[in-house]
Amino acid sequence: MRIGDVAQRTGVSTRALRYYEEQGLLGSERTSTGQRTYTESAVERVELIQQFFTAGVPSRTILQLLPCVDSGHASPEVFEILEEERRRITDAMADLAAARDALDRMIDITRNPTPEHCPSLR
């Protein structure tokens, strides 16, 4: 596959794919004329990378985690990173839940304006 094919199948821009390679996250073979060639597994890899990016894991951290995906083995340091990211994500979920609750309260108040809720009615 060429880069455009991977882009189309993953929904990730070619610019982003080159960026991933630049960051060491995604490998590719080259043709004799220098064009990138990808295997099928690259699609899966890109999807995993995307998932991490979406979760707020920075590229440098992903770079440390990916070898462990391939080898199935984690050094103690990598293991610590795994658990730390897990904690970070859990905390982020709690923050999101709190913000959503705040929005819910606002939605509720604006839907049922009552004197207790609404200073302007008092």
Partner DNA sequence: GTTGACGTTGACGTCAAGGGCAAGTCACGA
Partner DNA sequence: TCGTGACTTGCCCTTGACGTCAACGTCAAC
Are the beta carbons of 10 and 43 closer than 8 angstroms? yes
Stretch of residues binding DNA (CB under 7 A), selected from 57-65, 75-83, 95-103, 106-114: 57-65
Instruction: Note whether 80 binds its own copies by CB under 8 A.
Output: no
- Residue list 18-47, contact with DNA (CB under 7 A): 18-19, 23, 31-36
Q: How far is the CB of 105 from DNA (least distance, A)?
A: 21
The CA distance from 86 to 80, in Å, is 10
Among 19, 52, 61, 64, binds its own copies (CB under 8 A): 52
121 binds, among DNA, its own copies, none (CB under 5 to 8 A by kind): its own copies
Instruction: Note whether 107 binds its own copies by CB under 8 A.
Output: yes
Left if phi > 0, otherwise alpha if psi is -120 to 50, otherwise beta: which for 46?
Answer: alpha
Instruction: Note whether 75 binds DNA by CB under 7 A.
Output: no
37 forms bridges with which residues in the sheet?
29
Are the beta carbons of 26 and 17 closer than 8 angstroms? yes
Helices 41-54 + 3-10 axis angle, to 10: 50
Query: What are the residues binding DNA (CB under 7 A)?
Result: 2-5, 7, 12-16, 18-19, 23, 31-36, 53, 58-60
